[in-house]
Amino acid sequence: MADGMINNKTWIHIILIFFLGLAIYAGSLNGRFIWDDKSLVEDNLYIREWSGIRGFFSGEVTTHHSLFPKYYRIYRPLQLVTYAADYSLWKLNASGYHLTNILLHISVALLAYWLFGILYNNSFLSLLAGIFFVVHPINTEAVSYIAGRSDSLCGIFMLSSLILYIKAQDIGRAGLYIFALLLYIGALLSRETSLVLPVLLLLYHYSFKKKIDLRAFLFFLLITLGYVFLRPSFYIADPFSAAFLRRIPGFFVAVTDYIRLLFLPLDLHMEYGDRLFAITEPRAVMGFFIVVSLVAYAWIKRKTDRLIFFSISWFFILLLPERAGLVMR
């Protein structure tokens, strides 16, 4: 896929990833509305009329206030738009919403496959990346939990934006930059963590020694700043505040937990408890040494192995905003 052509082998890979995703998550089609699904979908009158979509972009979330008032600080209007689209098709048949989640998840896996093909021009590595993502149990929450849809939406828009940005760099088409910017806006309207996309763009330029087009990159920065200042009830945590400093051990705990779940995906939960931990917590100590070791290894390999440096850096860039409290919800 690196040259933009889809050959027979690529089609086989796409079909394999698609049907693996369907097979893995087919059981979720029998799921019901649970927890926040009830407020966001089942009891939400806004999604039942297309006229209610305007309210999503002004910060309105649901008509079921008794269970959902604290979530007014979460600004994810495109997630709600997809619920309205689902309602127009399925009404309150939960299976339809689960099917949408599965298809969104498969789309992210296919985009990951495409991105790896562009970056490394290795079809086997791309296939492994796509399969690993689509089948790994760590993604269960985002797929089987209807309210977790924002993860997949964010992934679709971010990866699509990054892919078009790279393509625009390669062939020099301004129109692709415009589409990449629009997709970035879509990512921001899906989930707050997409704010890190400009950092990922810089990582791409540094890792693969690509010259940056400052004019194009400036538009990504302007959109980022505009989002931070205009988004309802959004703020970035003060990195010197006591609240922020108390969250740092939680970042190291998260690293330990995520590494464990990567290789041993057992005891999965929708929520993993508090984010505040003592610095002496064993998982925090272990996470600290894991972070130091991985960062040091990535830095050593930055010139000789772009795959290792890019992958490790990608992991930490995407993990940092939520776990360290840089982006508060």
SS3 at position 327: strand
Q: For the chain, which residues make up each domain, given as ranges?
A: 8-230, 242-323
Q: For 134-153, how does the pLDDT look when each residue is reduced to its tens digit (9 = 90+)?
A: 999 989 988 999 999 999 99
φ, ψ of residue 236 to 5 degrees: the values are -105, 135
What is the Cα–Cα distance from 250 to 80, expressed in whole angstroms?
A: 30
User: What's the confidence (pLDDT) of residue 200?
Assistant: 95
User: What's the confidence (pLDDT) of residue 57?
Assistant: 80
Across 301-329, average pLDDT: 77
pLDDT(1) > 70: no
Mean pLDDT lowest among 11-20, 128-137, 239-248: 239-248
User: What's the confidence (pLDDT) of residue 262?
Assistant: 87
pLDDT(328) > 60: no
Q: For 158-209, how does the pLDDT look when each residue is reduced to its tens digit (9 = 90+)?
A: 999 999 999 998 887 778 999 999 999 999 999 988 999 999 999 999 999 8
Q: Tell me the pTM.
A: 0.87
pLDDT tier at 264, thresholds 50, 70, 90? confident
User: What's the confidence (pLDDT) of residue 272?
Assistant: 60
Across 94-107, average pLDDT: 96
User: Do 258 and 230 contact (CB within 8 A), yes or no?
Assistant: no
pLDDT tier at 329, thresholds 50, 70, 90? very low
φ, ψ of residue 202 to 5 degrees: the values are -65, -40
CA 269 and chain centroid, separation: 18
pLDDT tier at 15, thresholds 50, 70, 90? very high
The residue among 8 and 79 whose pLDDT is bigger is 79
SS3 at position 226: helix
